[in-house]
Amino acid sequence: MPRFAANLSFLFTERPFLERFGAARSAGFAGVEFHFPYAFDRAALAEVVLTSGLDVVLFNLPAGDWAAGERGIACHPRRIAEFQDGVGLAIDYAKLLGCPRLNCLAGIAPPQVDADRARETLVENLRFAAAVTQRAGIELLVEPLNTRDTPGFLVATSHAALAVIEQAGLANLKLQYDIYHAQVMEGDLARSLREKLPRIGHVQLADNPGRNEPGTGEINFPFLLDDLDRIGYAGWVGCEYKPSGRSEDSFAWMARWR
């Protein structure tokens, strides 16, 4: 049976961030994920997590100026020191919150940097980050983002992500498979998940089009989520979708698995 984690960067956004943990618990979730914890005092955040009783299952490495449109800095040759400092900061937060995995966003290659140089930088940064996180007992993930929503994103497909993972060559490095992004860029979801299962460290979902909750678009989630059970996926499934109404009204689709 899938274990669903509420993505607090998408769900319960009517509330301040620290109040979303309690809302997720009240809605029946046992785990949460989110984009970034770095704007919040570590002690206050840790207390909220402890009080909620929730597992923090995932968050991202620092990804540059998100508000300005940056979506990661791992492919930026001139920002390697910034990236490495961010890995250390993320590990500090992950240890404090008991989070077992971190996600790396490759980013959009700077216009003055060719794709090969950007990819080389990404691979070297992944080697560094995977080695450091492994020593900390934390798994590192790489997530493809579709180029419709994020034009120019360097790693846009699961195939491209697995290629840089293989090139980096560390067992601690896994694929974050977001069903929404994969549907936009690739389709053939069930077969893709089956083939890539040994390299998948985390799964996220949203329907397409619209990136809303399952049942609002074209993806056959009853089949797909049941198939995750059939193929033996035992990890979390992050609910990284934009609710079409109130967050609390967007969970009816989960009844099948609760």
Q: Average model confidence (pLDDT) for the chain?
A: 97
- Show Cβ contacts of residue 232 under 8 Å, excluding neighbours closer than 6 positions: 197
| Predicted pLDDT of residue 43 | 93
Average pLDDT over every residue of 122-138: 98
The catalytic site residues sit at 143, 240
- Which residues is 228 bridged to in the sheet? none
| Predicted pLDDT of residue 99 | 98
Answer yes or no: are the C-beta atoms of 179 and 219 closer than 8 Å.
Answer: yes
| Predicted pLDDT of residue 152 | 96
Burial of 70 (0-12, 13-18, 19+ CB in 10 A): middle
Answer yes or no: are the C-beta atoms of 213 and 206 closer than 8 Å.
Answer: yes
For the chain, what are the domain ranges?
3-257
Give the separation between CA 210 and CA 224, rounded to whole angstroms: 18
Given pLDDT bands bounded at 50, 70 and 90, which one contains residue 165?
Answer: very high
| Predicted pLDDT of residue 179 | 98
Q: Domain 3-257 - what CATH class?
A: alpha beta
Neighbours of 169 (CB within 10 A): 11
